Chain A
Amino acid sequence: MGLATCLRAITEPAALAAIRLTLLTAGVALLANGLFGLAAAWAIARFEFRGKSLLLSLIDLPFAVSPVISGLVFILLFGLHGWLGQWLAAHEIRIIFAVPGILLATVFVTFPFVARELIPLMQEQGSEQEQAALVLGAGPWQTFWRVTLPNIKWGLLYGLILCNARAMGEFGAVSVVSGHIRGRTNTLPLHVEVLYNEYNFAAAFSVASLLILLALVTLVLKTALEWKVARGIAPRPRGGHS
């Protein structure tokens, strides 16, 4: 297999579309789960409220069910014959077999990474530093940017790295809702599968090598972060979920 073949497989339009979609999906998942994870962890670690354990269970749900089932649940909700299917069709909103479905499925599957990383960290740190900031006259946003966020930034980064790796590599849930429309709803892992099923092994392995590269980058980042933590520069993140 020549280098030229490999490059051609990666740069042909369908592959480029898959790369773009994967990057978009990962970006949306990072943003959504970064914000959601922070908000959920903050609420859970700082306050007592009714339904807290329910919220915790909901956060864990994506880890508990198989991604394929998650995808099927989305079909059940938004598919043509699903609960909201008729309404969506009437308003010409396409979720299933379209990009929004892929984004939803990915965000759902990567839901727990950031929150699960931050909850124990914030519980352990407690709220004394934040109280100290308030007494010293800082407003809520100043307290968040100057005290809360710097204290959890390494844990947040760790959660985001794991979230990113999963978002780019997710196959099961995305496969169900995607419809495998080449050039439009194929992410990188789906594109690899399509190529493989077409016996186009050279192209399949070429594109797969891109995903392997991503895995390597993730591992390097994760190791660098752990090394930094071990040297005592950053507070220790919790054990990751995988």
Chain B
Amino acid sequence: MSIRLTGITRSFGSFKALDAVNLTVEEGELLALLGPSGSGKTTLLRIIAGLDACDPDRGGTIEVNGQDVSAMRVGERKVGFVFQHYALFRHMSVFENVAFGLRVLPRKDRPPRNEIARRVRELLRLVQLDKLEQHRPDQLSGGQRQRVALARALAIQPRVLLLDEPFGALDARIRQELRRWLRRLHDELHMTSIFVTHDQEEALEVADRVVIMNEGRIEQVGAPADVYHHPATPFVYTFLGDVNLFHERSEAGAALVALPTPDSRSTPYPGAAFARPHQVDLLPPDQTDLGVEGIVRRIHAAGPMVKVHLMTADGGDVLAVLTQERFAQLGVAPGMRLRAVPRELRAFTAAAG
């Protein structure tokens, strides 16, 4: 089902958690709401679910498949919601947790007992927990609880699936696994899904499209590669990965790509240009006058690439990522003087008017 949000504003006292947000979610896509904490992403998700409402005097609307659901109660919207801390019913077995949404249906819609059991077991097989149906939530690992929460949300055959920080409370290895598993599951079910995350890697790896939010507004919407390579605002640029700031154009010596941004709010660094660490070359000072000179402070050589931190004369920090070959060829060592030369730079200028 497609979802269309128009003019969603939500204030908590004088704080605007959401400021006139418009967003369209296409049928069957997996969308990530990405942003730092306090950017309004969870509030937006809760408003779609009906757990929170937008400011009534600001006239925002939520449409699911063209139908306005703003006035619908949370239980009528048929959304699957996976809570950040799972919110499993801890006095119920895994089986009863998943069956809950079916058991509370009005009698005329409620499937018979054996049909409920059949559907619950099918879902538990889908999330690979069919052997644990009699366990209690507190006997499960974090990843297993997460999957129970997902099965429980899917049991009511929701029109959309909403996940709040689905991997937030898990350790790194399980996160990785569960991420890929969620992507595969989505490819099987093709259910319109939205998940909230503050981890840009997670959003870029899993989602079909990424919505980057900041201070209650949407900064950019696009496919992962699109937002990564063509960030619309400095915020998006800095949020999606490590970044180096070059203050004077003369330092550059590289083709400067000036990108217009829609409003001046998004240009907190006037006259500055950005380059990603992998877009920065390191050269001995006697080979070039370009870029900025700095002293090597730290080296992280564990991994396929080597990260080198330089400290410039004015106390700035430049991060460059080199191949192991280039690293060895230069013979980089702490204390060495090198020049950081960006191959590519991006600047953001305020749009005219």
Which residue numbers of A lie inside 8 Å of B, CB to CB? 128-129, 131-139, 142, 146-147, 150-151, 232, 235
A residues in contact with B297, CB < 8 Å: none
Interchain CA distance A191-B156 in the complex, whole Å: 60
29 inter-chain pairs at a CB distance below 8 angstroms, sorted by A residue, are: A129-B88, A129-B89, A131-B51, A132-B81, A132-B83, A132-B88, A133-B100, A133-B104, A134-B51, A134-B74, A134-B75, A135-B79, A135-B80, A135-B81, A135-B153, A136-B104, A136-B152, A136-B153, A137-B75, A137-B76, A137-B78, A138-B75, A138-B100, A139-B104, A142-B104, A146-B104, A147-B89, A150-B91, A151-B91
Q: A232 to B51, alpha carbons, bound, how many Å? A: 32
In this assembly, does B230 line the interface, its C-beta being within 8 Å of a C-beta of chain A?
no
Residues of chain B contacted by A137 (CB below 8 angstroms): 75-76, 78, 101, 104-105, 156
Say yes or no: A128 contacts B87, CB within 8 Å: yes
Contact residues in A for B83 (Cβ distance below 8 Å): 128, 131-132
Other A-B pairs beyond A133-B100, A136-B104, A147-B89, 16, CB < 8 Å: A128-B83, A128-B85, A132-B83, A132-B89, A135-B49, A135-B51, A135-B74, A135-B79, A135-B81, A136-B152, A136-B153, A138-B75, A139-B75, A146-B89, A232-B138, A235-B90
B152 contacts which chain A residues (CB < 8 A)?
132, 136
Chain A's closest residue to B109 (CB) is: A137
Are B87 and A132 in touch, CB under 8 angstroms? yes
- When the two chains form the complex, which single residue of B76, B85, B90, B101 contacts A151, counting CB atoms closer than 8 Å? B90
Number of contacts between A and B (CB, 8 Å)?
63
Residue of B nearest to A153 (CB): B91
How extensive is the interface on chain B, given as a class? 20 to 34
Residues of chain B at the chain A interface (Cβ within 8 Å): 49-51, 74-76, 78-81, 83, 85, 87-91, 100-101, 104-105, 138, 152-153, 155-156
What is the chain A residue whose CB lies nearest that of B73? A134
- Once A128-B87, A129-B87, A151-B91 are accepted as A-B contacts, the answer to whether A136 and B75 lie under 8 Å apart by CB is yes
- Chain B residues in 8 Å Cβ range of A128: 83, 85, 87
Which residue from chain B places its CB closest to the CB of A132 in the assembled complex?
A: B87
For the complex, give the distance between the alpha carbons of A235 and B80 in Å. Answer: 28
In the complex, what residues of A have CB within 8 A of residue B138's CB? 232
Expressed in whole angstroms, the minimum distance between the Cβ of B71 and any Cβ of chain A is: 16
- Per DSSP, chain A at the interface is helix
Name the 5 nearest CB pairs between A and B, nearest first.
A136-B101, A128-B87, A138-B104, A132-B87, A137-B75
The CA-CA distance from A139 to B50 in the complex, in Å, is 14
- Shortest CB distance A130–B (Å): 9
In the complex, are the beta carbons of B90 and A131 less than 8 A apart? no
> Which partner residue on chain A sits nearest B96 by CB separation?
A146
Nearest Cβ in chain B — how far from A223, in angstroms? 22
User: Measured between alpha carbons, how far is A147 from B105 in the docked complex, in Å?
Assistant: 15
Measured CB to CB, the closest approach of chain A to B148, in angstroms, equals 11
| Complex Cα gap A138–B81 (Å) | 14
Chain B residue numbers with a CB within 8 Å of A150 are 89, 91
Measured CB to CB, the nearest residue on chain B to A232 is B138
Q: Which residues of B contact A232 (CB under 8 A)?
A: 138
How many angstroms from the CA of A142 to the CA of B153 in the assembled complex? 17
Of B79, B81, B89, B101, most buried by chain A (CB within 10 Å of CB) is B89
Write out the residue numbers on chain B whose beta carbons fall within 8 Å of the beta carbon of A136: 75, 100-101, 104, 152-153, 155-156
The residues of A that contact B80 with a CB separation of less than 8 Å are 135
> In the complex, how many angstroms separate the beta carbon of B62 from the nearest chain A beta carbon?
15
Assembly CA distance A142 to B156 (angstroms) = 16
What separation, in Å, do the CA atoms of A232 and B139 have in the docked complex? Answer: 11
Instruction: Report B53 CB to chain A, min CB distance, Å.
Output: 13
Cα–Cα, bound, A152→B152 (Å):
22
* Chain B residues closer than 8 Å to A138, beta-carbon distance: 75, 100, 104
* CB closest residue in chain A, given B100: A136
**A47, chain B: closest CB distance, angstroms:** 15
A161 to B90 Cα, complex, angstroms: 24
**A151: chain B residues within 8 A (beta carbon):** 90-91
Residues in A neighbouring B105, C-beta threshold 8 A? 137
Minimum CB–CB distance from B132 to chain A (whole Å) comes to 18
Which residue of B51, B79, B91, B105 has the most chain A CB atoms within 10 A of its CB atom?
B91
What is the bound-complex CA distance between A150 and B90, given in angstroms?
9
Complex interface: chain A residues within 8 A of B87 (CB): 128-129, 131-132
Contacts of A131 in B (CB 8 A): 51, 74, 83, 87
Residue of A nearest to B74 (CB): A134
A147 to B89: give the CA distance in the assembly, Å. 7
Contact partners of A134 in chain B: CB under 8 A: 51, 74-75
Specify the chain A residue showing the minimal Cβ separation from B162.
A135
**What's the nearest-Cβ distance from chain A to residue B45, in Å?**
12
Of all chain A residues, the one with the shortest Cβ separation from B77 is: A135
Q: How far is the CA of A2 from the CA of B101 in the complex (A)?
A: 63
